Amino acid sequence: MNIPNTLIYTPEHLWIKSISESTYEVGVTDYAQNLLGDIVFVDLPELQSQILRNVAFGVIESVKTASDLVGPLNGVMIEINSNIQKTPELINDKPYETWICKITSHDNIDNKELFLDSTRYSELTR
Q: Supply the DSSP string of 49-83, one letter for each residue.
A: -EE-TTSEEEEEEESS-EEEEEPSSSEEEEEE-HH
Tell me the per-residue pLDDT of 61-87, one tens digit each, with 9 for 90 and over.
999 999 999 999 999 999 999 999 999
* Average of per-residue pLDDT across 114-123: 96
* Average of per-residue pLDDT across 23-35: 97
Specify the pLDDT at position 1. Answer: 78
Residue 121: pLDDT above 90?
A: yes
Select the CATH number that applies to the domain covering 19-106 from these four: 3.30.70.920, 2.40.50.100, 3.40.50.620, 3.40.1440.60.
Answer: 2.40.50.100
Domain boundaries of the chain, sorted by first residue: 19-106
Specify the pLDDT at position 75. Answer: 98
- With pLDDT > 90 as the criterion, what percentage of the chain qualifies? 96
CA distances from 88 to 63, 65, 68, 84 (A): 12, 14, 15, 4
Tell me the per-residue pLDDT of 7-28, one tens digit each, with 9 for 90 and over.
999 999 999 999 999 999 999 9
On whether the pTM is more than 0.75, the answer is: yes
